[in-house]
Structure 1
Amino acid sequence: MRKGIRPALFYGMFALLLGGNAITGTALLMAPDIARLMSGQNELVMAAYEDRLAQMRVEIDRLHSRSYAQAGDINLQLQELSQQQDVLLEQHQLVRALVDKADRLGLANLDISMSAPDELAPVSTADGNPDIAATAQHVARMMDETQQAMTGIAVAATQRTDSIVGELGKLGISPHMPDDALAGMGGPLLAASGSVESTVLIDDANAVMDALLRYKAARDSLTLAPVHMPISGNFRQSSGFGNRKDPFTGGRAFHSGLDFAAATGTSVFSAADGVVSFVGERSGYGKVVEVSHGNGLLTRYAHLSAQLAHRGQKVSTGTPIAKVGSTGRSTGPHLHFEVRRGDNALDPKPFLDAGKRLLAIL
């Protein structure tokens, strides 16, 4: 007899098959929802990722913005420094010109320390970026140097001008100085523009130029003052200015100049710039040469053996105009030297002493 399938096993298998089919059917029925669910999750993930990317892009943009701003600041700073350097290089050249002019005027041996222009290029760091701080230090150093240089020139020129004017003033000579009345200025009041440092340097440079012009005027006036020795070589002062024992009468008499004993033929020089106003003989003086100096002063050179200049001749300080002799009322070869203002004889010694002091200064 054939055995059949037990009812319990049969129903169990049927239930299992039915459950599987139900699960499969449910899965098939729910597949779109699952797909949408999974798709939604991916979209959320992608959306979140894209949001993060967007945030990263924003951060990167911000970083780029800060970088560009920083680069802009650097470029702006370098541009400002470059402009300052251009101005300062011009000032550097101006100071050099002022130093050269000071040298030509005799203001030598000034302690001027200047950096070379090629030392003022922007300095780079190890990574090749410009070193703003180092460049600024270069600019500041040059500003200090130009300021010190111009101050040194102005101080030297002013001191020497004051010395010349003071010495000439003691002699009753008033040098013709630049007229401050011709320095008038004006114009509408407008807001300041450009570099403050540049304006200050230009003002300082103008002040230095004014000091040099005043010094030049004072020095030019000095050339017209009879403060230079009219003789050189072997000589001695044999008689002073004022009352003395007359060498011929033995009595008291007034001597109107200084006597310098020297060998016959010794050269006699003009004591200042001027024009020869007289060549000839005067009673008691023998052979004479006189030079007018254009400031009310006249110098007289007497007892000459020879006259080298002619009337109307322009002479400079140190121009040979005569030779020492013993003509006229004289006991031996010597130069009689007078300084006169109008009809009055002045003591030549203060003039020659002032010349020695100024020579030591200048």
Structure 2
Amino acid sequence: MLRQSASLGSQGDQSGRHGIHPALFYGMFALLLGANALSATALLMAPDIARLLGGQNEMVLSAYEDRLAQMRVEIDRLHSRNYAQAGDINLQLQDLSQQQEVLLEQHQLVRALVSKADQLGIASVTLPEAPPDDLSLVTNLSGNPDLAATAASVTRMMDETQQAMNGIAVAATQRTDSIVSELGRLGIELDLPAPELDGVGGPLLAPTDGAAATSPMIEDANAVMEALLLYKAARQGLELAPVHMPITGNFRQSSGYGNRKDPFTGGRAFHSGLDFAAPTGTSVLSAADGVVSFVGERSGYGKVVEVDHGNGISTRYAHLSGYLAHEGQQVKTGTPIARVGSTGRSTGPHLHFEVHRADQSVDPKPFLDAGKRILAMLG
């Protein structure tokens, strides 16, 4: 017993002297840490693991599917809102594009009308600047398109173009009315074209989708063109009226129409025209469009040229020194037809100018005064 106890004590002392191998020690330590980590993870995931292991996987999947469905609905709602906004913008852009096309067409019409007005001497109407070929969007401070501002810009340009059209019509109508009024006081009625028939009617029916609508712009343009055509006819009628001065340059009116002291007898005598004292050789002009009806001499008048202006109205130019026109010649207002002289019963070089209506002389002064007012109005 004592020998066995001593042997065991000797083995214990030997084990104490040698200790635990290091590799074994670190292996056991690593195993302990791994076990602790697994235990902590198991504790954290215990509810889900328990449900999955307990047959509750259908509930978990259903919850995920519900969340995904909710997110899908939210995304669809956002997309729908964006699409609606984008659709609204597209509709507004489409409207602006259509307005721009109308504006360009309107601008082209006004340009043609202004060109026609310029040909007729209506130069007081200015054409707005041409709109851009491409629709230019106005942007706000954030850089996004400001559709309201862009629409307002397009509307403003359309209003300016419409005002130009109205300005042409107003100018043409006012000038036509002035010419008609001035000549009317002289007993001259212009043969103006009758306005187009404007009778309209029909049953009252509901509007039809897709049916073409009458363009107010075209109607306005037609109205402006009608005003220009009336003005053109009035101008043509004006050229047939002897209201233009028959002489230019250095001259003065030396005698009026009516009773006066006769320069040769000293007694009262009737003077059938206006006298314009001027140097010999000064050009004598036709007071209106017409046809030269007589070239020659008449008693008391000396050398004479007479022009027939139609509608029973003619003019006589007397005491001439020479002729520049011949019988049957078509002449325009301002055409040189003779030269100032002192032939016939005359005290010095001057032009004797008469206006005849139905072969009876009338006072030329109201004609020439009306012409001055009309020319001042025409600019």
Write the deviation string for residues 213-263 of structure 1: whole angstroms up to 9, x where unpaired.
121111111111111110111111111101111222222111111011111
Determine the structure 1 residue equivalent to 2:193.
178
**Alignment CA distance shift 1:123-1:197 (3 Å):** farther
**Matched-pair contact (CA < 8 Å) for 2:324–2:336:** yes
Residues 195/275 of structure 1: CA separation in 2 closer, same or farther (3 Å cut): farther
AA aligned opposite 1:199: S
Q: Is the 8 A contact 2:240 2:289 kept in 1?
A: yes
Query: Shift of the alpha carbon at 1:43?
Result: 2.0
The residue number in structure 2 matching 1:355 is 371
Q: Tell me: CA distance 1:184–1:290, structure 2 relative to 1, closer, same or farther (3 Å).
A: farther
- Distance in 1, matches of 2:335 and 2:209, equals 54
Q: Which moved more, 1:190-199 or 1:303-312?
A: 190-199
Unaligned runs of 5+ in 2: 1-48
Matched, 1:275 2:291: yes
Deviations along 1:282-312, whole A, 9 cap, x unmatched? 1211111111112321011011111110111
**Bigger Rg, structure 1 or 2:** 2
The 1:154–1:196 alpha-carbon spacing in structure 2 relative to 1, beyond 3 Å, is farther
Map residues 255-266 of structure 1 onto 2, 5 A cutoff.
Answer: 255-266=271-282
Q: Name the CA distance, whole Å, in 2 between partners of 1:147 and 1:120.
A: 19
Corresponding residue for residue 165 of structure 2: 150
Cα RMSD for the two superposed structures: 2.7
Counterparts of 1:51-62 in structure 2 under 5 Å? 51-62=66-77
Q: Is the 8 A contact 1:110 1:152 kept in 2?
A: yes
Residue 196 and residue 358 in structure 1: after superposition, are their counterparts in 2 closer, same or farther (change >3 A)?
farther
Secondary structure of the corresponding residue to residue 180 of structure 1: coil
Could you say if the C-alpha distance between residues 194 and 98 of structure 1 is closer, same or farther in structure 2, counting changes exceeding 3 Å?
farther
Q: Does the Cα contact within 8 Å between 1:114 and 1:145 map onto a contact in 2? A: no
Q: Is 1:345 aligned with 2:361?
A: yes
Instruction: Identify which of 330, 333, 346 aligns with 1:317.
Output: 333
Q: 1:293 aligns with which of 309, 320, 341?
A: 309
Q: What is aligned with 2:324?
A: 308
Whether the aligned pair in 2 keeps the contact of 1:340 and 1:346 (CA below 8 Å) is yes
Q: Counterpart of 2:87?
A: 72
Are the structure 2 counterparts of residues 196 and 227 from structure 1 closer, same or farther at C-alpha, using a change threshold of 3 Å?
farther
Change (3 A) 1:180 1:258: same
1:163 aligned to which of 171, 178, 184: 178
1:151–1:56 distance in 2 versus 1, CA, 3 Å: same
CA distance in 2, matches of 1:95, 1:224: 30
Q: Which of 108, 111, 115 is the equivalent residue of 2:123?
A: 108
2:223 is the alignment partner of 1:207 = yes
Distance 2:95 2:171 in 1: 34
Percent identity, aligned pairs only, is 76
Give the conservation status (yes or no) of the 8 Å contact 1:88–1:198: no
Aligned amino acid, residue 367 of structure 2: F
Report the CA distance shift for 1:329/1:120 in structure 2 as closer, same or farther (over 3 A). Answer: farther
Q: Which of 44, 49, 59 pairs up with 1:44?
A: 59
Moved more, 271-280 or 247-256: 247-256
- Does the 8 Å contact 2:104/2:131 carry over to 1? no
In the alignment, which residue of structure 2 is the partner of 1:334?
Answer: 350
- Supply the AA of the counterpart residue of 2:185: K
For these two proteins, the number of residue pairs brought into alignment is 329
